[in-house]
Amino acid sequence: MREADAIVVGGGLHGCSAALQLALRGRRVIVLERRHVGRHASGINAGGVRRLGRDLAEVPLSVQGMPYWHRIRELVGDDCGFTACGHVKVAESAQELETLEKRARTVRGLGFDHEEVIDAAEVRRLVPALAPHCVGAMVVRDDGAADPFRTTLAFGTRAREAGAAIEEGEAVVGIERQAGSWLVIGTRGRYRAPVVVNAAGAWAGRLAALVGDVFPMRTRASMMIVTERMPPFVLPVIGAVGRALSFKQSPSGTVIIGGGQQGRADLDQEQGWVDVTNLAKSAGAAAALFPRMRRARIVRSWCGIEAEMPDRLPVIDFSPGAPGFIHVFGFSGHGFQLGPICGVAVADLATRGTTDLPIASFAARRFAVAEAA
């Protein structure tokens, strides 16, 4: 039996970030990770660090989370491959451009000015390789991208340095309430703490069910393509109003194409299967915006699996019924940028029982309420 102040289940970015913040506050924390740190979506996502185009409910937290990225080395001792290369969301018609302008007005109305609408000439200047039919874009100039595996690893390593224990190869098989505390039963050991953090990603629903929380959720298997190395031709991360696309060239020259086309997830086998018919849509979207990509050779495709909520917003909250049980999951395909700040929010909840960070929209009870209505 090992005692701790908090047990974090899941060694992805959110689990490691929460563990780091707890350890920095002097708390004894144990992370239980079934495979290895960064094994699933945290380690193999597209690495976009984006405020642009976020759900309005996520904008405040996302904006407050951005400075962590710009000072990521101070936090974890590694630059995580982060570059503030900017994000560009392309409009391919006057109508799409109008959509962007309307969106920018809405966001400004909430008091945020990070999103900027630019004309065709400025798009051309920022992204000379873009297909000539594009009429404008929205940009966030100091959004960026990072290496997801390196980032998750850096958070894990820094958490260990700060005193957290990360048990890799340790799967949780049971959780029991005992004398005002949680007994977490793993395949290799038993752990006790007053606080448990559910950062189990795609498997978070199963973990939640162990303490009686049932969430309406499904599993995403967002696919990605990586090409051979190409000479540098695009700096920012590119998206599009009318296409499911995320497009970026890595520092090594490979091009990474994502955007949310779905493969098939298998939670029991702990793996995703690429669906090449859907993958072809991503390829088509990339080729439409960057005609030169038609001849680029695909080296590999893959998918990362994670949880998706009905409103595509995460759950960052105490369990409605299980005391001291904190959920941080359901990022629905865009949780990477929120990783650093969510660690702070979770540590606040765990140590103070509340947080000043804007997480009200991510309440666990919103689903229960919706079902009762």
Partner 1 sequence: MHGRRAPGHAHPPAGRSARAVSTPFDFVVIGGGPAGLAAAVQARQLGLTVTLIDEQPEPGGQIYRAVERAEAEGRAAALGEEYRHGLALARAFRDCGATYLASHQAWQVERDGRVFATDGTASRLIEGHRVLVAVGAIERPVPIPGWTLPGVMTVGAAQILHKSIGLLPDAGVWIAGSGPLTLHFAAEIVAAGGRVAGILDTARASIPGTALAHLGGVLRGWRYLAKGLGYLAQLRMADIRRVTGVEAVEAAGDSRLERVRWRVGSQWNEAPASGLLLHEGVIPNTQVTLALGCAHDWDPVQQCFRPRADAFGATDVEAIIVAGDCGGIGGARVAECRGRLAALGAAAALGRITPEDRDRRAEPVRRELEGHDAIRGFLDALYSPAPELLAPSDDVVACRCEGVTAGRIREAVSLGCLGPNQVKSFTRCGMGPCQGRMCGPTVTGVIAAALGVLPQEVGTFRIRPPLKPLRLGELAALADEERAA
Q: Which of 225, 238, 256, 322 binds partner 1 (CB under 8 A)?
A: 225
Q: Residue 275 Cβ, how far from partner 1 at the closest point, in Å?
A: 9
Q: Which of 214, 299, 360, 370 binds partner 1 (CB under 8 A)?
A: 299
Q: Which of 264, 351, 355, 363 binds partner 1 (CB under 8 A)?
A: 264
Please choose, from the candidates 152, 87, 185, 103, the residue with its C-alpha nearest in 3D space to the C-alpha of residue 340. 152
Q: Which of 120, 129, 230, 273 binds partner 1 (CB under 8 A)?
A: 273
**Site residue total, partner 1 (CB under 8 A):** 34
Q: Answer yes or no whether residue 300 interacts with partner 1 by CB under 8 A.
A: yes
Kindly identify the residues of this chain, within the stretch 94-153, that bind partner 1 according to CB under 8 A: 149
Residue closer to partner 1 by CB (options 123, 274) is: 274
- The residue behind tokens 């998918």 is 303
Residue closer to partner 1 by CB (options 36, 124) is: 36
Distance CA 49, CA 54 (A): 11
**Cα dist. 131→120, 136, 285, 330 in Å?**
11, 12, 12, 35
Per DSSP, what are the bridge partners of residue 221?
305
Please choose, from the candidates 153, 187, 162, 184, the residue with its C-alpha nearest in 3D space to the C-alpha of residue 19. 162
Residues 6+ apart with CB under 8 A from 167: 30, 31, 32, 33, 186, 188, 189
Q: Answer yes or no whether residue 369 interacts with partner 1 by CB under 8 A.
A: no
Rounded to 5 degrees, φ, ψ at 324 are: 75, 5
Half-sphere exposure of 252 (CA within 13 A, CB side): 10
Q: Answer yes or no whether residue 283 interacts with partner 1 by CB under 8 A.
A: yes
Distance CA 23, CA 77 (A): 15
Strands 136-140 and 87-91: antiparallel
Residue closer to partner 1 by CB (options 286, 305) is: 286
- Which one of 35-43, 60-68, 97-105, 121-129 is the stretch in contact with partner 1 (CB under 8 A)? 35-43
Q: Which of 49, 75, 145, 296 binds partner 1 (CB under 8 A)?
A: 296
Kindly identify the residues of this chain, within the stretch 143-182, that bind partner 1 according to CB under 8 A: 149, 168
Half-sphere exposure of 62 (CA within 13 A, CB side): 28
Distance CA 161, CA 19 (A): 11
Q: Which of 56, 280, 360, 369 binds partner 1 (CB under 8 A)?
A: 280
Q: Which of 302, 310, 311, 312 binds partner 1 (CB under 8 A)?
A: 302
In the structure encoding, which two tokens stand for residue 85, read together? Answer: 């290369």
Q: Answer yes or no whether residue 322 interacts with partner 1 by CB under 8 A.
A: no
Q: Residue 158 Cβ, how far from partner 1 at the closest point, in Å?
A: 15
- Which one of 56-64, 184-192, 289-297, 335-343 is the stretch in contact with partner 1 (CB under 8 A)? 289-297
Which amino acid, residue 239?
A: G
Residue closer to partner 1 by CB (options 175, 265) is: 265
Q: Residue 298 Cβ, how far from partner 1 at the closest point, in Å?
A: 5
**Cα dist. 211→202, 235, 322, 327, 363 in Å?**
17, 46, 6, 11, 17
SS3 assignment, position 8: strand
Q: Residue 313 Cβ, how far from partner 1 at the closest point, in Å?
A: 28
Exposed e or buried b per residue across 16-32, where buried means at least 16 C-beta atoms within 10 angstroms of its C-beta = bbbbbbbbbbebbbbbb
Q: Residue 113 Cβ, how far from partner 1 at the closest point, in Å?
A: 36
Q: Answer yes or no whether residue 256 interacts with partner 1 by CB under 8 A.
A: no
Q: Residue 32 Cβ, how far from partner 1 at the closest point, in Å?
A: 16
- The residue behind tokens 């000072």 is 71
Q: Which of 128, 216, 232, 284 binds partner 1 (CB under 8 A)?
A: 284
Q: Which of 165, 287, 363, 368 binds partner 1 (CB under 8 A)?
A: 287
Which residues would be at the binding site for partner 1 (CB under 8 A)?
A: 36, 38-39, 43, 149, 168, 225-228, 264, 266, 271, 273-274, 276-277, 279-281, 283-284, 286-287, 293-302
